């Protein structure tokens, strides 16, 4: 039943919304959370990049555990 076109399209739309939320959240995080090291503000691109990197590492770890059987 979950493999029917209706469910597949609903899951695809839900996935797109989750991706949109994740991307906008990671791009907003540097503005909501100011990180300072030795009194200097860390650039927004670095904070966002670290968030994306953590997302990639955790996604790879989850995929590894789910796909290894």
Which of 46, 19, 20 lies closest to 33 in space, CA to CA?
46
Q: Is the pLDDT of residue 55 over 90?
A: yes
Q: Is the pLDDT of residue 15 over 80?
A: yes
Predicted TM-score (pTM) of this structure: 0.76
Q: Domain range spanning residue 57?
A: 5-67
Q: How far is residue 8's CA from residue 25's CA, in Å, rounded to a whole number?
A: 25
Q: Is the pLDDT of residue 2 over 90?
A: no
Which of 29, 60, 25, 61 lies closest to 46 in space, CA to CA?
29
Give the pLDDT band of residue 49 (cuts 50, 70, 90).
Answer: very high
* Structural domain count, the chain: 1
Give the pLDDT band of residue 66 (cuts 50, 70, 90).
Answer: very high
How much of the chain is in helix, strand and coil states, percent to nearest 5? Answer: 75, 5, 20
């Amino acid at each position: 039943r979950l493999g029917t076109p209706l469910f597949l399209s609903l899951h695809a739309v839900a996935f797109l919304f989750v991706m949109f939320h994740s991307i906008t959240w990671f791009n907003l995080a540097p503005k909501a959370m100011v990180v300072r090291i030795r009194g200097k503000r860390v650039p927004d691109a670095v904070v966002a990049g670290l968030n994306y990197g953590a997302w990639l590492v955790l996604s790879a770890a989850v995929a590894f555990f789910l796909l290894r059987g």
